Amino acid sequence: MRVRKWSIGCSLALILASAHLPAQRADPVLDRVGDWVYEFVEQFANVVAEEDYVPNKVYQSARLRSDYLLVRYPGSEASWLTFRDVVAVNGSSLRNQPERLAKLFIEPRASAIAQANAITKHSVQYISPLADPLLGIAMLQRQYQPRFQYTIGNLDHGLGAGVRRIKFEERATPTILRQRDGRDLPTHGTAWAVEATGRIVRTELQIGNPGRYARTVILTTTFKLDEALGAYVPATMQESFTLRDGAGVRGTAYYSRFRRFAVRTSESLKVPKPDP
């Protein structure tokens, strides 16, 4: 199975940064969104989830089961990493020990860096690192808001009371995401937020330049409250794309079994770039 030919010049994992910066925009809705995203990152930190990726049968890709987590970058108080460990392909297990991704951060060991690199390289064989359910919400952080043009849209009553559409388009260059050769990967999309609180209900992020011969990756993530965890979590992520004026859904990921763990390691981890 071939990985889709997208690569980036920065690590996706380093996008989520929890530094609570002063407000940089006067719009009260965006201020509340920035506050909520900050709290979301803090509450979802050090949580591992089970990800069940169900492909669209048209594209004949594999069904994947993975562990997915958000963890504080070792030695940093402000930066966070997202990791995915593909543990089963079409029902066949790929690992010889349970919870190996969480244990990497729970149990400090000299080989932690090598293990993290191996897990990352292993997983991108099956699913693109761009298929990250938190990538859309990362673009709404306060520190990124000045890079985007925002348009406050209408209420969307179909998603609940007081839910308003917020369109955003990246205008600053170089862009946050870049291809390996340094070319920009601009992003734009829509967030659906509860106007009174800033809580994000859904994000739709489009990555890349649309056009006849360009491919645009589209990630649509929904969020829900996990009562057992006491925090908001990703519920589903749909990965779709446009190519040569056509559109299709590649697959949908479902998230469950959220478990919180304590991190004790202070090692510094290097996350490799995926192969093109």
Tell me the per-residue pLDDT of 42-52, one tens digit each, with 9 for 90 and over.
Answer: 899 888 999 99
3 within a domain of the structure (yes/no): no
pLDDT at res. 238: 95
The string of pLDDT tens digits covering residues 1-42 is 333 333 333 334 334 544 444 444 558 999 999 999 999 988
Residue 273 located in a structural domain: no
Please report whether residue 243 resides in a domain: yes
**3 or 62, higher pLDDT:** 62
pLDDT tens sequence across 206-246 = 998 765 445 788 999 999 999 999 999 999 999 998 766 56
On whether residue 151 sits in a domain, the answer given is: yes
Give pLDDT, residue 56.
Answer: 86
Within 13 A of 223's CA, how many CA atoms are on the CB side? Answer: 24
- Is 5 part of a structural domain of the chain? no
Count Cβ atoms below 10 Å from residue 110 Cβ, excluding itself. Answer: 7
Q: Could you say which DSSP state residue 79 is in?
A: B
Question: Which two tokens mark 60?
Answer: 């004949």
CA distance 205 to 169: 10
Residue 123 domain boundaries: 12-260
Q: Is residue 101 in some structural domain? A: yes
Lowest mean pLDDT among 7-11, 102-106, 201-205: 7-11
Mean pLDDT across the chain: 79
In a domain? residue 122: yes
In this structure, is residue 271 part of a structural domain? no
* Number of compact structural domains in the chain: 1
260-273 per-position pLDDT tens digit: 877 654 444 444 44
